[in-house]
Structure formats: C-alpha cells, structure tokens
Structure 1
Amino acid sequence: MALSKQINGYESEITKFIAELKQKNPQLEAEQLAGRALLWDKTPIDLDSQLRTQESKVPQQPYVYQNEH
C-alpha cells in the first residue's frame, strides 16, 4: 500500500517557468555552464609544484604580532 498518491502529468509552476525560460533563451544553459566553469571548475593541480610549495613553507610564530626581542 502506497502512502502517497502520485499524480501523473503534474507539473509545478516552477517547472513550467523554467521550461518557458529555456524556450525564450536557448543559450541559457550554455551561459550557466560558462559561469560555473569560471567560478568552480579549476584546472588540475600540478603535483610537482604542489610539493615544491609545501616544502618551501616557512614556519610561522605562534603569535604573529609578537617580536622576538
């Protein structure tokens, strides 16, 4: 026995709005992917340069603003 009834063919207002928006602006998905690539998709990390960066770190004082005098 199913606890909820599923209505076939139901489409929410938001789904309809998004479908209409995509019809009006066919380039919208390409622009979204370009924006995602700009902010989130990064180039692969070069392991040699990452190792060099880790090895060249200088240890920091526990309290940065205190002089050793």
Structure 2
Amino acid sequence: MSFTIAKGMVAQTAGKHYPAPITAVKTIEAAARFGREEALNLENKSFVPLAHTNEPAHWSAFSLTINM
C-alpha cells in the first residue's frame, strides 16, 4: 500500500481532530529513507509533542479499528 493511500485512509478514519494517527503515517514514510538511528530520532521529534496532548490515549482505540 502506498503512503498516499495510507494517509487517505487514516485521515478518513481518524478525522482531523486526532493528529497522532496521521503523524504516525507521515513519520513512518519519512523514516523509511533513514537508517535506524536517524529514524528513531525522527520518531522522537514527531511524537514528543503529541505526548503532551490527549490524543495519544486515543491512538490504541484507533489502532484497534484499523486492525479489525
């Protein structure tokens, strides 16, 4: 599945009020170009700001809906 399709599916499912799911897809897409250390640094930069919001608590519920 291409990242364009994945981003569309995530945006449709999660909506605009939940930034964590789309941030995850964008981060995975960007990190695919890097080695492990660079990818982990990018992941930290992407998700640390989300940790200070309520959205990460909803990430597990979203993950369950796309895995069903």
**TM norm structure 1:** 0.26
1 or 2, which has the higher helix percentage?
A: 2
State the structure with bigger RCO (CA 8 A, min sep 6), 1 or 2: 2
